[in-house]
Every structure is written in C-alpha cells, then in structure tokens.
Amino acid sequence: QSAMTLQGKYFGPLAGMAQGKVPYNAEVVARNAAYLDVLDKMPWDGFTESTKDLKDVKTAALPAIWNEPAKFKEAQERLQSEVSRLVSVSKSGDEAAVKAQIGAVGKSCGGCHENFRQKQ
C-alpha cells in the first residue's frame, strides 16, 4: 500500500502538468518518472496467493486480483512498460510527447484501478 501511495505522490504532479493545471517542469518530470520506474515494481508482492485471505489488512483490492491473475499481471506489465516509455520520452525535451506519455501512464493506472480496486 505504501508503494501505491508513493506512486500517487510522484505521479500527481505529472498529471497536473499534462492537464495544464500546473506549469510544465522538465526536471520534475524526469525525476518523478525515474522514481516511478522504481516504485512500479514494488507493490506486486503484496498480491500473491498467500495474501488473498488476509483478514486484518484494510485494502481496496478486489477479488479479481486473485481470480484473474493473468489479467492482473498484464495490467502490471502495461504500467511498467508505460512508465519505462515515460522515462525515455522525458529525456527527449519534447513537451507534447511527454504530456502524451503521462496520459498513457495515467490510463494504465486507471485501467488497473477500474478492474482491480474498489471504487473510492
């Protein structure tokens, strides 16, 4: 859960930039993309078969995580792929391409949340 929280912390400003809500800052994009490239590999150990029936953990995880493991794995891999692309694009200096890739990362996050997380 902490890794997910940190992903939100470092993605939030990027989403704001892509949406034009905050000024674009290439240095922040590159830094946060690099952080996300590490963080996006961390949370998945928390969703193994051994964690399926934990009763004392507050979570928004849906049973679909364990009922559809291949689909969940595909969502993880999509996020990691989109974040890796963001790291590469963030080095290009092409603000429009960076903003488009931030959107792709956000879409991959949202797709996982839509299918595997309780509505909040």
How do the domains of the chain map onto residue ranges?
2-47+64-116
Identity of the amino acid at 73: K
- Classify domain 2-47+64-116 by CATH architecture: Up-down Bundle (1.20)
Q: pLDDT band at residue 1, thresholds of 50, 70 and 90?
A: confident
Q: pLDDT band at residue 94, thresholds of 50, 70 and 90?
A: very high
**Residue 35: pLDDT above 80?**
yes
Per-residue pLDDT reduced to its tens digit, 7-16: 999 999 999 9
Residue 47: per-residue pLDDT: 79
Identity of the amino acid at 6: L
Using a 10 angstrom Cβ sphere, with 0-12 exposed, 13-18 middle and 19 or more buried, the burial of residue 45 is exposed
Residues 6 or more apart from 10 whose CB is under 8 A from it? Answer: 32, 35, 36, 39
Q: What is the mean pLDDT of residues 50-77?
A: 84
